[in-house]
Amino acid sequence: MRRNTRVDNNQKEIVKVMKKLGYTVEDIKWPCDKLLGKRGLNFLIEIKNEDNSPSQKKLTPKQEKFHENWNGQIDIIESVDQFIAWDKRTWEKFVRLGSIID
């Protein structure tokens, strides 16, 4: 069990936007901060704060290993604007591939 995990202070604002854009959001803490669901698809998201120093944004060694070995999608988001851009790119990609699931 993980203890004393730090929550970046921008998470509430980003989660609010995630929900506004139609995602269900589950706080999972491991292997990343959030599990998102939308239109039958799932996404792993790690939230970092863009205002933090590079050392504060660093993944833990366990997270780094997971990111390196994970064959699926996992992304790091640092701001509301970055999440909105990620959302747009993600759905444009699925439309281009003809892979929208409803």
Q: How far, in Å, CA of 37 to CA of 39, rounded?
A: 7
Asked if the 16-97 domain carries CATH number 3.40.190.10, the reply is no
Paired strand residues for 42: 37
User: Whose CA is closest to 8, among 45, 44, 57?
Assistant: 57
Going by C-beta distance under 8 Å and a sequence separation of 6 or more, which residues neighbour residue 20? none
| Residue 53 in this model has a pLDDT that exceeds 80 | yes
Average pLDDT value for residue range 59-88: 96
Reported as a single tens digit per residue, the pLDDT across 13-22 is: 999 999 999 9
The size of the chain, in residues, is 102
Provide the strand spans (E) within 49-99.
75-77
Q: Angle 38-92-48 (CA atoms, 0-180°, nearest 5)? A: 60
Residue 99 scores a pLDDT above 80: no
Q: Sketch the domain layout of the chain as residue ranges.
A: 16-97
Which of 72, 76, 81, 78 minimizes the C-alpha distance to 21? Answer: 81
Please state the pTM of the whole predicted model.
0.85
